[in-house]
């Protein structure tokens, strides 16, 4: 069994995969001046989708830190935003046509103060809850949301024009994540 160490999520470490969504004073404020400076507006990234976007809320319960699936979306930039300040763990791999090998995977611990927007085609596993009942806002394309409700080959996989979700465990083997105490 291969083990991947979980890193702390930082803007620098996550740059190959996307953008942290959170309070970052290094991002210039937009010139919006309503409310006499009591509201500062920054734009850490731009959501892209070739199909109408959908905003979903997922209740995520803790599960074993083993990678079951990896998926990617060539037509949109998916976002994960935690509610209630609860931490989560996410696994990413660089864009590629073929499913990533274990040495390409990186796992990150998000402390709950920020979310993340992935670039198009970044391979990822659905986030892991660290605490009970972590609520996560997921911004994705309506096309992908529809494709996730199908399993055309009966292998616990889903595909579509904007979705390539593969059963990583059955195709590659057991990959375990390790969070240092």
**What per-residue confidence (pLDDT) applies to 52?**
87
pTM equals 0.91
Tell me how far apart the alpha carbons of residues 119 and 141 are, in angstroms, rounded to a whole number. Answer: 13
**Which CATH code fits 2-178?**
2.60.120.480
Q: How confident is the model at residue 3 (pLDDT cuts 50, 70, 90)?
A: very high
Is residue 151's pLDDT more than 80? no
DSSP assignment string, the chain: -EEEEEEEP-HHHHTTTEEEES--TTSPBPS--GGGGT---B------BSS-EEEEEEEE----SB--EEEE-TTB--EEEESTT--EEEEEE---SSPPPGGG-EEEEE-SS-EEEEPTT-EEEEEEESSSSEEEEEEEEHHHHHHTT--TTSSS-EEETTEEEEEHHHHT--EEEE---
Is residue 157's pLDDT more than 80? yes
**What per-residue confidence (pLDDT) applies to 178?**
95
**What per-residue confidence (pLDDT) applies to 181?**
64
Is residue 152's pLDDT more than 70? no
**CB contact at 8 A, 70 and 168:** yes
Spell out the residues 6+ positions from residue 83 whose beta carbon is closer than 8 angstroms to its own: 57, 135, 136, 137
pLDDT digits (tens, 9 = 90+) for 36-92: 889 988 888 888 888 989 999 999 999 999 999 999 999 999 999 999 999 999 999
Is residue 4's pLDDT more than 90? yes
């Amino acid at each position: 069994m291969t083990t991947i160490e979980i890193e702390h999520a930082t803007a620098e470490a996550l740059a190959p995969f996307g953008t942290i969504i959170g309070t970052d004073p290094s991002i210039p404020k937009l010139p919006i001046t309503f409310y006499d400076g009591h509201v500062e507006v920054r734009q850490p990234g731009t959501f892209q989708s070739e199909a109408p976007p959908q905003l979903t809320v997922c209740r995520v319960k803790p599960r074993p830190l083993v990678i079951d699936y990896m998926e990617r979306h060539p037509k949109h930039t998916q976002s994960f935003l935690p509610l209630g300040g609860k931490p989560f763990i996410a696994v990413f791999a660089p864009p590629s046509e073929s499913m990533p090998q274990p040495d390409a995977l990186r796992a990150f611990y998000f402390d709950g103060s920020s979310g993340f927007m992935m670039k198009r085609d970044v391979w990822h596993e659905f986030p892991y809850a660290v605490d009970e009942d972590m609520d996560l806002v997921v911004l994705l394309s309506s096309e992908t949301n529809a494709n996730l409700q199908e399993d055309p080959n009966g292998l616990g996989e889903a595909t579509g024009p904007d979705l390539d979700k593969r059963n990583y465990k059955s195709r590659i083997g057991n990959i375990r994540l390790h969070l240092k105490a």
